[in-house]
Amino acid sequence: MNEFSLINHFFKQQAIEREDVVFGIGDDAACLAIPAGMHLLVSTDTLVADVHFLSEWDAYDIAYKAVMVNISDIAAMAANPCWISLALTLPELNPMWLKRFSEGLHSCLKKFNISLIGGDTTRGPLSITITIHGLAPVGQVVRRAGANIGDKIYVSGELGAAALAVASCKINKIEPVDKQLILDKLKHPNPRIDLTTILRQYASAAIDISDGLSADLNHLCDASGVGAKLDISAIPIHQLVKKYQPIKALDFALSGGDDYELCFTVPTKKEKEFLVAINKLGLSCYVIGTIVGERGLSILEENGEISTLTPKGYSHF
Ligand code: ADP
Ligand code: MG
């Protein structure tokens, strides 16, 4: 097997063929049909071995995570994912590894009806770069900038479990069932595409929580030129984080990262309708605070005191 038969066997033959792909893998560039009235959203995320995942992970999970974290960025913009390209750097040509990798890849793509439209295959230290393309109706994209004073701040799910999984090698006595659960959170993020239409209708700003809630909310506030006041008792902390890290639980939730939930703001005049709409869809989101004029983050402690919250999250450098 060489580079070209590899591409053909593991990537081209199994690709989903969406009607809007005029042509995909096989030419020097893919050709896509963008419907009138839609904006094209483009985002790239790289996963590097032993930084974002461990080399010893099942290749299925590596591919799965690589696709899902990209979909999460498209979800944060209130767009629908359509196409990806894949730049794959491999230390060796290992058919068993590639088989598992392509199974993980295609299972995600199938789940969200996304076509693999091209890529690049090179030799080097294991890394996966995916560029994802999504569509949203013109005028309905949600950005980080857009939050206004008085807007309510929401998160879409419980936080901290993925960070607990990363730390779990240093924590004694995690029961096997619990360990399985948190590793699943780390390896199989669930991007919140189910919130796309809700965000379009009700959100003034949104961001995905990949680096940690405090760091990412701070980015949203900076982009919007505002600050945030959070309520400590309202932060949704995953129950296993409370169980195994009772003292540091809040830290895990605020700055652990890798959760791939969304943080978004809703103007108060839309809040009632928003709550009815998510209820109808059977979804639950958590209100954690309010957008304020004063820049930076603050948090209302359980004793009633307000303290400054220093944004903390994952940073490569
Ligand atoms: P070029 O030499 O022009 O860079 P390649 O030989 O790298 O082209 O790729 C041939 C075709 O296979 C192209 O259409 C490219 O998009 C596609 N391709 C290469 N690597 C991958 C991959 N890992 N996944 C999907 N498509 C790929
Ligand atoms: Mg190439």
Closest CA to 202 of 137, 260, 138, 147: 147
> How many angstroms separate the alpha carbon of residue 42 from the centre of ligand 2?
20
Task: Kindly give the number of the ligand 1 atom that is closest to the alpha carbon of 27.
Answer: 14
The predicted pLDDT at position 16 comes to 86
- CA of 26, nearest ligand number: 1
Task: Kindly give the number of the ligand 1 atom that is closest to the alpha carbon of 10.
Answer: 24
Q: Is 88 in the pocket of ligand 1 (CB under 6 A)?
A: yes
> How many angstroms separate the alpha carbon of residue 106 from the centre of ligand 2?
21
Q: Is 121 in the pocket of ligand 1 (CB under 6 A)?
A: yes
Instruction: Calculate the alpha carbon distances from 27 to 3, 22, 64, 80, 240 in Å.
Output: 15, 11, 26, 25, 48
The predicted pLDDT at position 95 comes to 95
- Give the number of other Cβ atoms within 10 Å of residue 44's Cβ: 13
Q: Is 27 in the pocket of ligand 1 (CB under 6 A)?
A: yes
> Could you tell me if 77 and 136 are in contact, meaning their C-beta atoms sit under 8 angstroms apart?
yes
List the Cα angle 159/113/109 in 5-degree steps. Answer: 65
- CA of 3, nearest ligand number: 1
The predicted pLDDT at position 25 comes to 95
The predicted pLDDT at position 3 comes to 85
The predicted pLDDT at position 17 comes to 86
The predicted pLDDT at position 171 comes to 81
The predicted pLDDT at position 267 comes to 98
Residue 27 CA to residue 24 CA, distance in Å, equals 7
Residue 9 CA to residue 144 CA, distance in Å, equals 40
Query: Per the structure block, which two tokens stand in for 301?
Result: 């402690």
Q: Is 119 in the pocket of ligand 1 (CB under 6 A)?
A: yes
Residues with CB under 5 A from ligand 2 (ion): 120
Question: What residue owns the CA closest to ligand 1's atom 5?
Answer: 120
> How many angstroms separate the alpha carbon of residue 15 from the centre of ligand 1?
13
Q: Is 120 in the pocket of ligand 1 (CB under 6 A)?
A: yes
In this prediction, the residues of the chain whose per-residue pLDDT falls under 70 are none
- The packing angle between helices 59-76 and 95-111, to 10°, is 30
Span 25-48, pLDDT tens digits: 999 999 999 999 999 999 999 999
The predicted pLDDT at position 141 comes to 98
Q: Is 117 in the pocket of ligand 1 (CB under 6 A)?
A: no
- CA of 27, nearest ligand number: 1
- CA of 119, nearest ligand number: 1
> How many angstroms separate the alpha carbon of residue 169 from the centre of ligand 1?
38
Instruction: Calculate the alpha carbon distances from 91 to 32, 53, 58, 97 in Å.
Output: 31, 15, 16, 11
> How many angstroms separate the alpha carbon of residue 34 from the centre of ligand 2?
24
Q: Whole-model pTM?
A: 0.96
> How many angstroms separate the alpha carbon of residue 2 from the centre of ligand 1?
13
